[in-house]
Amino acid sequence: MRTTKVGERVYLLDTVALGQAGTVSVYVVKGPKVTLIDCGYASSYETVLEGLRELGISPSEVRYVIPTHVHLDHAGGTGYLLKKMPRAQVFAHEKAVKHLVDPSRLIESATEVFGKFIMEAYGLPIPIPSGRVTAVGDETNLELGDGLSATVLYAPGHAPHQIALMVEREKILFTADSVGIVYPNLRSMIPTTPPPSFEPEKLLGTVGLLEQMGSKSLLVPHFGVRKDVLEVFETTKRKTMEWLSLVKEMRDGGTALDQAVERMIVLAAKEGGVRTDEFPVYAKVSVRTTVMGMYQYLARSA
């Protein structure tokens, strides 16, 4: 089973990214206008189609495709899915649109972060026809039919082109990467602060805004449903600032990036309740990306 029911009409679809279950999810709202929130990596798009099939949804029924931001684990598959979804329109933040239409700069910047080898595993995004993308801003309301609607919330900090979505009627909040990563088999949270545009103050502001939405469940990309809403927000704020100050100390002390990454992996493994040699590769990549984003932020703000 690729899909799990997580709300009255909402399903989690595990994209089994790079063969790993429990790492990258997308969500499906099965109202009269079927909506896909996030698309997964380019290399996972067939798994997304399989998941829709499992839910009895044909690709031509999908009307809204909403990559919460343009990072490859959220938007990489968008162009491939659109080719199979003739009636779907993409909705994305106005700062995301240009990268969706022309992903060349995005590919360049992601290759710098992850390297060619990992990029091949993720798959490269393909351009989306500009006529199929609509820019959305704060508080845009999307009618999904049958009285179901989703409100767009601008959610910068993790990335300047990120949105979250609130389905008021069900009190469900799609957080995007405004909250930290908790993989199902690791107990603790890894902050998610990637290059090139992590901004701690904006992230804290976003978390503060989302906290006030009165949601009953959080649908988190990495990974799954959280009912302990306040705990997730509080932990995100605390962990992000704790990691940032540890990383700052290392950077100020002249520690090289690779060494700082190794130290944070040891810490994350300990907090996650596993031995360092058992700490999974995908979680190591998350820690590396986070520390890199912090290093770049600290360099920018020095």
Q: Per rule CB under 5 A, is residue 38 in the interface with Zn ion?
A: no
* For Zn ion, the closer CB: 7 or 221: 221
CB of 24 to Zn ion, least distance (A): 7
* For Zn ion, the closer CB: 31 or 162: 162
Among 28-36, 83-91, 101-109, 221-229, which window interacts with Zn ion (CB under 5 A)? 221-229
The binder of Zn ion chosen from 14, 38, 177, 199 (CB under 5 A): 177
CB of 292 to Zn ion, least distance (A): 14
* For Zn ion, the closer CB: 73 or 199: 73
Q: Per rule CB under 5 A, is residue 199 in the interface with Zn ion?
A: no
* For Zn ion, the closer CB: 31 or 199: 199
CB of 61 to Zn ion, least distance (A): 26
Interacting residues with Zn ion between 70 and 89 (CB under 5 A):
73
Concatenating the DSSP letter of every residue in the chain gives: --EEE-SSSEEEEE--GGG-TTS-EEEEE-SSSEEEE----GGGHHHHHHHHHHTT--GGGEEEEE-SSSSHHHHTTHHHHHHH-TT-EEEEEHHHHHHHH-THHHHHHHHHHHHHHHHHHH-------GGGEEEE-TT-EEEEETTEEEEEEE--SS-TT-EEEEETTTTEEE-GGGS-B--TTS-S-B----TTT--HHHHHHHHHHHHTT--SEEEETTTEEES-HHHHHHHHHHHHHHHHHHHHHHHHTT--HHHHHHHHHHHHHHHHTS-GGGS-HHHHHHHHHHHHHHHHHHHHH-
* For Zn ion, the closer CB: 170 or 177: 177
Among 131-139, 161-169, 195-203, 216-224, which window interacts with Zn ion (CB under 5 A)? 216-224
CB of 73 to Zn ion, least distance (A): 4
* For Zn ion, the closer CB: 14 or 177: 177
Among 99-107, 108-116, 137-145, 220-228, which window interacts with Zn ion (CB under 5 A)? 220-228
